Amino acid sequence: MKCKHCGFENKNSAKFCTKCGEKMTGDNGGDTPVNNSNSTKYIIIALIVVIIILVAGFAYFAGTMHSNDSLQSSDNSQNNASTSQSDSSSGDDAKTQSVSSSQSSSSQASESKSWELIGTYSGSGSGSQTINVPAGKIMVKLSAYPIKNYATNHLYVSGSNGQSGGVDWGSHSDVETRSDSFTYTSSSSQTFEIDYYETVSWQVDFYRYQ
């Protein structure tokens, strides 16, 4: 604020001139115009800031709404695709279950059969036996334990269809249990001879797959 008397510039809040001591008054072109000018500037700046905030808020809101619409459209498309895939998968699952059921039935039919024991023969010492074996898929299992210090110990099983199996020991063989087995299929019953010599014990088992 300029002093009206001497022209010295004082602070806006000064009541008296620092240089000449003259009383400062508001009608000398001092602080009132300056204060009004500053207030106007502040109001304009505040209005500009408010306008910027409003524009930014509107732009953000519009962008958010557009993004939500896009996401909703994308979700609807994905849901439709998922529904189609689900329907297709349901059809495939039904086919798979049908195939699995058929395979399961076939497996159960196969697994319903097993080897069943139809005859057991055993003894010791030396001798022979003749037995009849029914038709079908047959498995023969045999085992024997020899008398010590004999080179001709044996257990032989031979059939009328040419099928045979057996165990024997040489003069230098270990005295131990030996086993053998064989399988055949026949449409008619067969006659088998069991021949054993110098054994402590022997056993022959006949199984049929049924």
Q: Are residues 4 and 62 in the same domain?
A: yes
Q: Are residues 135 and 201 in the same domain?
A: yes
Q: Are residues 33 and 106 in the same domain?
A: yes
Give the global pTM.
0.49
Write down the pLDDT at residue 105.
59
What domain count does the chain have? 2
Average pLDDT, the chain: 82
* Whether 16 contacts 6, CB under 8 Å: no
Q: Are residues 84 and 165 in the same domain?
A: no
* Whether 22 contacts 3, CB under 8 Å: yes
Each residue's pLDDT tens digit, 35-68:
556 778 888 998 899 999 998 888 887 777 766 6
Q: Are residues 97 and 131 in the same domain?
A: no
Each residue's pLDDT tens digit, 141-161:
999 999 987 789 999 999 999
d(CA 132, CA 138): 12
* Segments forming the whole domain that contains residue 80: 1-112
* Whether 133 contacts 193, CB under 8 Å: no
Residue at a domain's end among 112, 130, 162:
112
Tokens of 60: 């953000």
